[in-house]
Chains A and B, each alone.
Chain A
Amino acid sequence: MKLELVDRTIGWIAQSKAGNADWPRLIDLIGKYPVAMIDYPFPIIPAQGSHIKARMEIPPSLLASDPEALKRISMSGCCHAAISMRFGSASLDEAKKAALAAHRHLKSVSLKLPDASKMDAQALDECIAAAWDAGISSIIFCDGQSVLSPQETFGLIRELVQRSCCAIEFCPGNKYGLAAANAFAALKAGVRRVHTCAGGLAPSGAAMEEVLFSAKRFLGDKTDTKSIAQDCGMLLRAAQRDVPSNKAIIGEDIFAHESGIHVDGVMKNPALYEAIEPSEVGLSRRLVVGKHSGRKAIRGKLLDFGVDASDEAAEIIMHQVKRLAEKQKRALADSQLLSLYAEYAYGVAEKAEVLASGAG
């Protein structure tokens, strides 16, 4: 299976931000992943400097009101269009006419069905037939209202892939957190192209890093993900968003371990409590000392600093660690742990300093 992504990150950043991002850099970042196409919502002009195909979504009615629009789009460097047909808002004839007109100026035309997941089989068949007549290269099947489960996605898409004469793309909705699972289901059902955005940022499309990782883990995809956390971080920052610290695949805390059982396990073999090797996504493991720490974790952490504490010492310090973590309502900084040890071993009572370093 050769996976191809249609990117919605760049288009979303372009839409939400007036103009001045470092587009070539952002596009280079996205270009590290198997992105075949970047989609832009109308009337956002595609970012300059793209070596990845740009596609613009246009409503069929645009061509009636502005016959020159296609020419301008093609001159802006965008050679591909998706005629967006919100069911009921435009007739299939209109979409066909728009597609035929678009062919005169553009290299390829897709048919986008924003509410495809709510259409019945007959309506979908009519769209497939119209797509054939109008030389449409792909049908974009969207779950605009997020009504599909992975099982339903798999069933619907598999049937559609078999019936359709043109390629099917799948664009999941993400209202209820199922977009990545639905994109995975579509890939499993035989679709090659799914719509994604870094970090699950845009309103439609699945989190790129999650789709890539599932495809890699379960479908044999070979994409290099060794810098995906940093790359997605930069893309999100361009959209003025932070990566949530526990975001699957790319959050900075997803390899942080604190609880006694987990730290003990990770010290024996990290795979006991990690499904992913941190370097595989460009992150690193971190052992945190806090309320849930056990004796072994305290000993292990102190050993990292060259301090070989006895079991008895670790036990006493563990209780102090718990108390301090409760008091400050967060984990301890390394310096706090070392101060507790110094206090235990040398009787240097530097409580004030301990608490001050915790506030910093």
Chain B
Amino acid sequence: MELVDTTLRDGEQTAGIVFSADEKLDMVRALNAIGIGWIEAGIPAMGPDEREVLKEMLRVNKTSAMIAWNRADKGDIANSISCGFQFIHVSLPASDFHIEHKLRKSREWVLARLREVLAQAKGEGASLIVGAEDASRADPEFFLRFADAAASCGAIRIRYADTVGCMEPFTAAEIFSDLAKRSPLPIEFHGHNDLGLAVANTLAACQNGIPYASVTSIGIGERAGNASLEDFAGVMRFVCRSPLKLRMEHLPKLASIVRGAARRKQCPQPIYTGFHRKLPFLELDPGLNG
């Protein structure tokens, strides 16, 4: 399984959190040191200042593949490409609920829009990653049509987003074992922690044929956050005994940068809050264990 770290995108998107340029560069270096394969670096459409920082992040990055996050909007994508991003993530809703209540459009509109913006990005030579927003509340058959459309436009993978964090690990296992077999593209699972089950759901994805998972350091992210990089790495190593290819000794450094940048005294994940538990690799930084 490969990790897509989205601390710099979904993490910073948490209400109230702003990372400075220096903090972002430090995070990129720390993620490189850990050996994270993919970094979702940010949203170039946020504005010219943001794009300057993103360009600097691209320069500082040594070893990870850097991804720019985009709405399904040609202007957004042009901005990402002008920054120098090779990997372009394009997000569109997949659930009828989002399509109807947020976009006020139809399934067919979504597929047409997806094809249109992907064709443009492909023409510019970018590698495409497609995000199916609210996939956990979508009709799985429509998710597969969405994936087919993305595949036919040359996308390299599709994100299955549990946008509101409403899954539980047993249903997730059934869904993923089915989708992993039928999807034309490799799937990335993106789990939110609203019910406290993000890490468990990510593990269920991993055990059922899903090859990519998105995570954030110390689990920051919208609302109750995302699956935590540290917890998931701990689960893979100590519970599943099949460690990810990460240099885990560098995890405390990243966690400490993120904790400072997000101004979080405590994090809900047990290794930090609490309150007592220590992961062997986090004992290196006593400050992290409260």
Contact = CB atoms under 8 A, between A and B. Distances in A.
Interface of A: 146-151, 154, 174-182, 184-185, 188, 199-203, 207, 210, 213-214, 217-218, 241-242, 244-249, 251, 253-259, 261-262, 264-265, 268-269, 271-276, 286, 288, 290-292, 319, 322-323, 325-326, 329-331
A322 B47 contact: yes
A177 B15 contact: no
A38 B39 CA distance: 45
19 contacts: A149-B207, A150-B169, A151-B204, A151-B207, A175-B238, A175-B279, A177-B271, A202-B275, A203-B276, A210-B196, A214-B197, A256-B15, A257-B15, A262-B222, A273-B222, A273-B223, A322-B47, A330-B18, A331-B18
Contacts of B234: 175-177
B285 to A, nearest CB: 17
Q: Chain B contact residues: over half helix, strand or loop, or mixed?
A: loop
Interface in B171-201: 173, 192-197, 199-200
B268 A275 contact: no
A15 to B, nearest CB: 12
Contact of B239 (A149, A265, A269, A272): A149
B269 interface: yes
B223 A177 contact: no
Contacts of B47: 319, 322
Contacts, number: 216
Interface in B214-243: 219-220, 222-225, 228, 231, 234-235, 238-240
A202 to B, nearest CB: 8
Contact of A217 (B15, B102, B195, B224): B195
B172 to A, nearest CB: 10
Interface string B262-281: 01111111110111110100
Given A146-B239, A178-B200, A248 B268 contact: yes
A207 B275 CA distance: 13
Contact of B238 (A147, A242, A326): A147
Given A149-B235, A150-B169, A175-B238, A273 B203 contact: no
Nearest to A253: B15
B2 interface: no
A200 B13 contact: no
Between A264, A268, A286, the greatest number of chain B beta carbons within 10 A of the residue's beta carbon is seen for A268
B14 interface: yes
Contacts of A207: 196
B15 A288 contact: yes
Interface string B146-160: 000000000000000
Given A176-B235, A177-B270, A248-B196, A188 B279 contact: no
B168 interface: yes
Nearest to A292: B13
Given A177-B269, A184-B169, A331-B15, 13 more contacts: A147-B238, A175-B234, A178-B235, A179-B270, A185-B170, A244-B267, A248-B225, A254-B223, A254-B224, A273-B163, A275-B164, A275-B192, A326-B20
Category for how many chain B residues contact A = 35 or more
Interface in B52-99: 71, 97-98
Contact of A276 (B194, B228, B231): B194
A322 B18 CA distance: 10
B246 interface: no
A174 B196 CA distance: 12
A248 B224 CA distance: 5
B194 to A, nearest CB: 4
B86 to A, nearest CB: 24
Interface of B: 12-18, 20, 46-47, 49, 71, 97-98, 101-102, 134, 163-166, 168-170, 173, 192-197, 199-200, 203-204, 207, 219-220, 222-225, 228, 231, 234-235, 238-240, 263-271, 273-277, 279
A295 to B, nearest CB: 13
Nearest to B227: A177
Contacts of B195: 210, 213-214, 217, 248-249, 275-276
B170 A154 contact: yes
A245 B259 CA distance: 13
B199 A246 contact: no
B211 to A, nearest CB: 18
A20 B275 CA distance: 21
A44 to B, nearest CB: 17
B264 A244 contact: yes
Given A174-B277, A254-B224, A276-B194, A288 B16 contact: yes
A251 B169 contact: no
A245 B272 CA distance: 13
B173 A151 contact: yes
B240 A149 contact: yes
Contacts of B18: 290-291, 325-326, 329-331
A185 B171 CA distance: 12
A179 to B, nearest CB: 7
B143 to A, nearest CB: 18
A269 B194 contact: no
Contacts of A146: 238-239
Residue with the greatest number of chain B CB neighbours at <10 A, chosen from A207, A217, A329? A329
A23 to B, nearest CB: 21
A213 B134 CA distance: 21
B224 A147 contact: no
**Residue with the greatest number of chain B CB neighbours at <10 A, chosen from A178, A203, A325:** A178
